Amino acid sequence: MRVTQNMLSNQMLRNLSSNYGKLDQYLEQLHTGKKVRRPSDNPVVAMKGMGYRAEVSKIEQFKNNASEADNWFENTDEALDKMTKALHRIYDLAVQGSTGSYNEEDRINMMSEVKQLKEHVIDIANTSVGGKYIFNGRQTDQPPVNKDGSFNNLYNNDSVMIEVAPGTKLAVNAIPNRVFNADNNDLFSTIDRFITALENSDQAQINESIGDIQTHTDQVVNARADIGARMNRLELIIDRLDHQEVVAKKMMSDNEDVDYEEVITDLITQESILRASLAAGSRTIQPTLLDFLR
Amino acid sequence: MSTFHGLEMAKRALFTQQSAIHTTGHNISNANTKGYSRQRVNFETTTPYPVPGRNQPQIPGQIGTGVQAGSVERIRTQYLDEQYRSENSKSSYWHTTSDALERMESLMNEPSKNGLAHTMNQFWDALQVLANNPENEGARSVVARRGEAVADTFNYISNTLRSIRSDIDYQIDVTVQNANSLIDRIHKINEQIQEIEPHGYLANDLYDERDRLIDELSSIVNIEVSYRKSASSSKDIADGIVTIELVDDHGSPFEPTVKLVDGTAGAMTVEHLTYSKGEPSTVSVGDIQLPYSENNGSLNALVHAYGFEENGELKGLYPGMLAEMDKLANVFITEFNAIHRNGFDITGNPGQAFFTGTNAGDIAVRDAILTNPDLIAAASEANLVGDGSNASNLSDLLDQPINSALGQSTSINGFYRALIGQMGVKAEKANAMSANTDISKTQIENQRLSVSSVSLDEEIANLIKFQHAYNAAARNMTVVDELIDRIINGMGIVGR
């Protein structure tokens, strides 16, 4: 084949340009750390990449949701703990008041303590965290109990659900009825009856209150146990989310991140190829026959 | 045999070698001229003496009478031109398509932190936060704003797709004008050649110019070139007059034929391409409406990218993407609003539309929601401020397989991912085809250069060769001169 200077220089330019093109590709991979710049570089990797991104972002949000749920549990648990303590004190007072060794004056004193405890219990029932009343179901903007111990008109018994994993919704509140109501008696009227009994020094009524208060205390303890069980489940879910996050990020990285050792090696190889082609080109396009004619 | 025979022969040699030296000079001058083919002078011997006849002189044999320049010919192979043009057509189709898709890809910008997919993910996050904190004013504002970001991204994609599409429309117009100008210039050259060739000349430089223009035309549409002898007096090696016909993918002409440049005897006319602006703009030539080919010519590629009507439907790369985005936006708006209407806002009123609009171009968050995010229907039950279950339902929509215009059991995000995947596959194919056709085009181009391009070394060697011959002819003339001198001045003076 006849080869002319023009062909040589065209060929050299084409090769140089394709060498620079490859160099640019490796440099871009190093700069961005990604294998693909646009979907056409590798449609499969790009599509998978979009999927993994969505998954990672979801898992991150589910983790946020889980810590939100954890917040509910912690606060509910704390409130129920305080409520149990208050009920224990009321129970102690009831047991004391039922014995004959106390006189009416003592019982009036007990009564004022029980009144204070009742307000304390009402305060606990109206616990609000970040502007949400945690013992009023989904009606979180209203306190469940009025100042006098009667229930709010907007008293609500729904479960508050938080999605902690795809399709897994966890109830994060204690159902108010399961805390405040037992055997058709509500906690506050039980305490009220106990107060009246103390006021009247009615020992029989006080004895009856002992049982009622015990029932309510059990109720609160059960509710707390229920929250504890759900906290355990949440911990398992958080563990799983953590694990999933690691796996999803690893898959995303495997899918689209460059292998630096490989790219750097490629880059260096490409660099030496470019140097070689520049050197070869400069030798072939310079001389003509004229250089050798005298 | 005259005494002056030698003088005449030496003179012919001088002239002929000189013409070869000039032609070599022309070659060197045009070594870097685009489309130039090297030329050579075809030397031929002149008629020897004597020619047979009744009155032929009785001498021992025919004596040569020297050299003459028979013709000046360009070195070129026509079938390589044909191959080049066919590859050029394909290469420029894929090159143009790959450019158009590259613009689309950089617009969609996936996978990245700026594309629609990311905006959708953020919207989902915001809805989840709202589901957990429905009474929170901040969570509501974030949903409204992220919803706006989703709408804005849709608008941006739709608007930019449209503006790129009108760019392509403009490009089509310019390309048609360019093609028509090429056709006119080829026709002009045809006419010039028609005047030159019958005199027995070869219009080498006009042939080169014409071939270069035809090469350019072949990148716009695929063509078939045929030649006609310009006149009976023209040389046999003359190229003649070209006729350029539009051909289909298989290289066969259309019925009726479309002759862009008609060089048939007595006709000598042109057929222009017509661009008519409209919605959509169209290009036609003769009875042919573009695009007529899926892998030939940049004009077909442009029309494919821009869009064309087929059975009353608008098809093409950009209209296709726009239609898919509109469909996606429409289903998203309808389904999202349907769920939103099932819920209740913070004051217990049933939810109204969250998004307004019907397609990717006009999707927007309803103004009332932007000014008052309390109108977002996060609750499934009226007057339950702490109920975020409808927000949760809204967030589920994005990844839930639903039956809609998008397909059976297709989720909104899934559809979008598939859309990006399809675009990626198309662009990947176009890039690969563009690279492949480029390689075969380059290969043929190289073969053509191998035949036609000027080699300076060769020209210099020729120059030296012709110079030597010229010098020798001059010496020959000196010898003959001395012979005549001897006859005139040295003879008839015997014994003086």
* CA–CA distance, B297 with B254 (Å, rounded to integer): 16
Average pLDDT value for chain B: 91
Domain-located, residue A43: no
Share of chain A above pLDDT 90, in %: 39
Q: Are the Cβ atoms of B455 and A293 closer than 8 angstroms?
A: no
* A223 and A146 within one domain: yes
Please give the pLDDT value at position B249. 84
Query: What is the per-residue burial (b if ≥16 Cβ within 10 Å, else e) of A209-225?
Result: bbebbeebbebbeebbe
Instruction: Look up residue A160 and give its two tokens.
Output: 């508050």
Range B104-123 average pLDDT: 88
**Do A138 and A203 share a domain, yes or no?**
yes
Q: Does B451 touch chain A (CB under 8 A)?
A: yes
The letter for the amino acid at B364 is: A
Residues in chain B within 8 Å Cβ distance of A156: 384, 386
Whether residues B111 and A49 touch (CB distance < 8 A) is answered with yes
Instruction: Tell me: pLDDT of B257 over 90.
Output: no
pLDDT over threshold 90, residue A227: yes
B52 CB-contact burial (10 Å; exposed 0-12 / middle 13-18 / buried 19+): exposed
The answer on pLDDT for A266 being more than 90 is yes
pLDDT value of residue B1: 61
The reported pLDDT for the residue numbered A74 is 94
As a whole number, the mean pLDDT across chain A is 89
Burial of residue B338 (number of CB atoms within 10 Å: 0-12, 13-18, 19+): exposed
Residue of B117, B122, B385 with shortest CB distance to A140: B385
- The answer for B 31-50 residues in CB contact with A (under 8 A) is 31-32
* CB A145 within 8 Å of CB A151: yes
Three-state secondary structure of B170-213? HHHHHHHHHHHHHHHHHHHHHHHHHHHHHHCCCCHHHHHHHHHH
Mean of pLDDT values over A196-219 = 88
Smallest CA-to-CA distance from A257 within A32, A15, A8, A17 is with: A32
Indicate the pLDDT class of residue A236, thresholds 50, 70 and 90. Answer: very high
Tokens linked to B180: 């028509």
Rounded to whole angstroms, the Cα distance separating B282 from B172 reads: 9
Chain-chain contact of B105 with A39 (C-beta, under 8 angstroms): yes
Work out the minimum CA distance from B395 to partner chain A, whole angstroms: 11
CA distance A94 to chain B (A): 38
B446-483: burial string, b at 16+ Cβ within 10 Å, e else: bbbbbbbbbbbebbbebbeebeebbeebeebbeebeee
Closest by CA position to B450, among listed B80, B43, B96 = B80
pLDDT at B371: 92
Residue from the list A38, A68, A163 with its beta carbon closest to the beta carbon of B105: A38
The distance between the two most distant Cα atoms of chain A, rounded to a whole number of Å, is 140
* A275 and A143 part of one domain: no
Search chain A and give the residue with CA nearest B450.
Answer: A2
Chain A interface, best mutation among B106, B132, B419, by max A CB count within 10 A: B132
Residues A175 and A198 placed together within one structural domain of the fold: yes
What pLDDT, on the 0 to 100 scale, is given for residue B112? 80
Q: So what's the pLDDT on residue B416?
A: 93
Provide the CATH number for the domain around residue A172.
1.20.1330.10
CB-CB contact of A30 with A258 (8 Å):
yes
What span, in angstroms and rounded, lies between the C-alpha atoms of B55 and B61? Answer: 15
Do A265 and A146 lie in one domain? The reply is no
pLDDT at B169 over 70: yes
Which amino acid is residue A226, in one-letter code?
D
Alpha carbon of A97 to those of A88, A109, A189, A205, B179: distances in Å?
14, 10, 18, 10, 110
pLDDT reported for residue B198: 93
CB B161 within 8 Å of CB B153: no
**Contact predicate B109/B314, CB 8 Å:** no
Q: Which residue of A has its CA nearest to B30?
A: A6
Residue B36: pLDDT above 90?
A: yes
Domain that holds residue A79: 53-252
Residue A40 tokens read as 């056409």
Average pLDDT estimate for B277-281: 86
Which of B121, B137, B440 to probe the A interface (max A CBs under 10 A)? B121
* Those residues with Cβ within 8 angstroms of residue B18's Cβ, 6 or more apart along the chain or in another chain: B470
DSSP string, B271-283: ---EEE-STT-EE
Number of other CB atoms surrounding residue B49 within 10 Å = 16
* Residue B488 DSSP label: I
Inter-CA distances, B57 with B49, B51, B60, Å: 9, 9, 9
Residues A155 and A215 in one domain: yes
The pLDDT of residue B55: 84
> Are A160 and B427 in contact (CB < 8 Å)?
no
A72 and A180 within one domain: yes
Domain contains A71? yes
DSSP state of B373: G
User: Do the beta carbons of residue B280 and residue B307 sit within 8 Å?
Assistant: yes
User: Does A79 fall in a domain?
Assistant: yes
Count other C-beta atoms under 10 Å from residue A174's C-beta.
27
pLDDT at A131: 84
Least confident of A234-238, B53-57, B211-215: B53-57
The per-residue pLDDT for B364 is: 94
Clarify whether residues A92 and A111 are in a common domain.
yes
A206, A197 contact by CB (below 8 A): yes
Q: How far is CA B458 from CA A5, A114, B25, in A?
A: 10, 119, 12
**C-beta atoms of A138 and B384 within 8 A:** yes
Chain A residues inside the 8 Å CB shell of B447: 1
* A44 inside domain: no
CB atoms closer than 10 angstroms to residue B20: 24
Could you write out the DSSP letters of every residue in chain A? ----HHHHHHHHHHHHHHHHHHHHHHHHHHHH-BS-SSGGG-HHHHHHHHHHHHHHHHHHHHHHHHHHHHHHHHHHHHHHHHHHHHHHHHHHHHHHHHSTTS-HHHHHHHHHHHHHHHHHHHHHHT-EETTEETTSTT-TTS-SB-TTSPBPTT---PPPEEEEETTEEEE-S--HHHHHEETTEEHHHHHHHHHHHHHHT-HHHHHHHHHHHHHHHHHHHHHHHHHHHHHHHHHHHHHHHHHHHHHHHHHHHHHHB--HHHHHHHHHHHHHHHHHHHHHHHHHHS--GGGG--
CB B303 within 8 A of CB B291: yes
Tokens of residue B400, six digits: 């839930």
Q: Work out the average pLDDT over B207-219.
A: 94
| Phi–psi pair at B288, nearest 5 degrees | -90, 130
Measure in Å the smallest separation between the Cα of A45 and chain B Cα atoms.
9
Lowest mean pLDDT among A162-171, A202-211, A282-291, B172-181: A282-291
The total of structural domains in chain A comes to: 2
Distance in Å, alpha carbon of A93 to nearest chain B alpha carbon: 37
Which of A61, A153, A169 would best serve as a mutation to test chain B binding (most B beta carbons within 10 A)? A61
Judge if A220 and A270 occupy the same domain.
no
Same domain for A265 and A206: no
Chain B residues 333-392 within an 8 A CB cutoff of chain A? 379, 381, 383-387, 389, 392
Distance between first and last Cα of chain B: 30
- Looking at the partner chain, which of A38, A41, A141 has a beta carbon nearest the beta carbon of B385? A141
Assess if residue A239 is contained within a domain. Answer: yes
From CA B11, how far away is CA B477, in angstroms rounded? 7
Tens-digit pLDDT profile for residues B282-341: 998 888 888 877 888 999 999 999 999 888 888 999 999 999 999 999 999 999 999 999
Residues A19, A152 share a domain: no
Residue B72 in contact with residue B23, Cβ under 8 Å? yes
Average pLDDT over residues B116-136: 91
Contact residues on chain A for B386, CB-CB shorter than 8 A: 132, 136-141, 156, 160
Distance CA A108, CA A95 (A): 15
Number of Cβ pairs < 8 A linking chain A and chain B: 158
Q: Do A5 and B108 touch (CB under 8 A)?
A: no
A41 within domain boundaries: no
The angle subtended at Cα B448 by Cα B443 and Cα B454, nearest 5°, is 125
pLDDT in tens, B139-167: 999 999 999 999 999 999 999 999 999 99
pLDDT exceeds 90 at position B91 = yes
End-to-end CA distance of chain A: 28
User: Which residues lie below 8 Å from residue B378, measured CB to CB, with a gap of 6+?
Assistant: B130, B131, B134, B140, B343, B345, B346, B387, B388, B390, B391
Q: What contacts B205, CB < 8 A, 6 or more positions away?
A: none
Tell me how far apart the alpha carbons of residues A162 and A72 are, in angstroms, rounded to a whole number: 10
Average pLDDT over residues A203-229: 90
Q: Return the DSSP state at B358.
A: S
The answer to whether the Cβ–Cβ distance between B427 and A57 falls below 8 Å is: no
Asked if residues B67 and B284 have their Cβ atoms less than 8 Å apart, the reply is: no
Percentage of chain A lying above the pLDDT 70 cut:
100
Neighbours of A92 (CB within 10 A): 12
Asked if residue B266 has pLDDT above 90, the reply is: no
Judge whether A10 lies within some domain.
Answer: yes
Question: Are the beta carbons of B455 and A49 separated by less than 8 Å?
Answer: no
Q: Are residues A93 and A158 in the same domain?
A: yes
The answer to whether residue B256 scores a pLDDT higher than 90 is no
Which residue in chain B is spatially nearest to A170 when comparing CA positions?
B132
Q: Would A47 be classed as within a structural domain?
A: no
- Candidates B316, B332, B318; CA nearest to B154 is B332
Summarised one tens digit per residue, pLDDT across range B394-429 is 998 988 899 988 888 899 999 999 999 999 999 999
